Structure 1
Amino acid sequence: MQFALDFSRVTFKTNSAFVPKVSESTLAYRQVDLRAFHPPPFSSSEEERLHRLCPVRVLHHYVDGTKGLRKGNQLFVSWADSHKGKPISRQRLSHWLVEAIILAYNSVGLSPPEGLKAHSTRSLATSWAAFRGMSIQDICAAASWASALTFVRECFTSFIFTSPFHLVNK
């Protein structure tokens, strides 16, 4: 992971231990660039408020805040006394994702769907990407899916299960 000097973006390279769901996927050897969301200078207080949602900004604060704990190059580390600085487990990451989703629903006055799981983010994110105009080919590549059939199945499962479309105007 590398931040631009002005924090306008961050670049990730896939962890070499990552095994994609589809073995032929190019995702295992890919670089991902995240650009800042409403970076400074701000032309309005609304832009400054929106910048607080910037993933580059949040990631920089997290990495900076955990650098004293870190005992390796794993991004997500524990701050619990018994495991301080060690990589978190898959179960802990899953728990954090579900908590974040619940907080997002609650923040707009909605109840989260029943049976919510961390894996739900995969179908929900792809549904949102399609809704926002991303091509099915790009979605399949990003999700490490072999075919559009998988996308259709996941997308409609997400729509029925969590229906992100009711949040559009929130």
Structure 2
Amino acid sequence: AGVDDKGHPYDITADAALQTPGVKEVVELVQPRAVTTGADTKTVVTANKGVFQTKDNVLDLSDGVTLNHSVGEETYVFTTSAATVSIGDETVQSTTGVEGESGSGTLRADRMRAYNSEGRIVFEGNVSMRIYPDKAKLPEMLTNDTPDSEEGPQ
């Protein structure tokens, strides 16, 4: 746990940690979980395996990586096979392909970079996106809601 260069808190936990004698800068983690928060954002990244580089404040994650990125009211959930969390830069990056979803739709891409402090995520390479329209914004005739009908002759 600590505070990054911009004063935002972060926390890294794991079910188990292994540090090789004489190598203080590298800690192997089992079931790591990293949480970073910004002004209006929160990012939680989990994986089965990880390596924390204490000198650089970088967490390399592998094997079943899940990223939950909340910006305001919206939460995005992405999965990938590997990702790098840079505490100082407040970023999460993956170059191994990513799939994700939110209440707004689904997405796939070859690469992803989430900027926690800015509340944005950039996707690159073969980006495919499906956006679900907001029912409240559709014209009345396209919704499943029917207006109250007047009673006819009986």
In the superposition, the TM-score normalised over structure 1's length comes to: 0.24
More relative contact order in 1 or in 2 (CA 8 Å, sep 6+)?
Answer: 1
Higher helix share: 1
TM-score by length of 2: 0.26
The structure having more radius of gyration, on CA atoms, is: 2
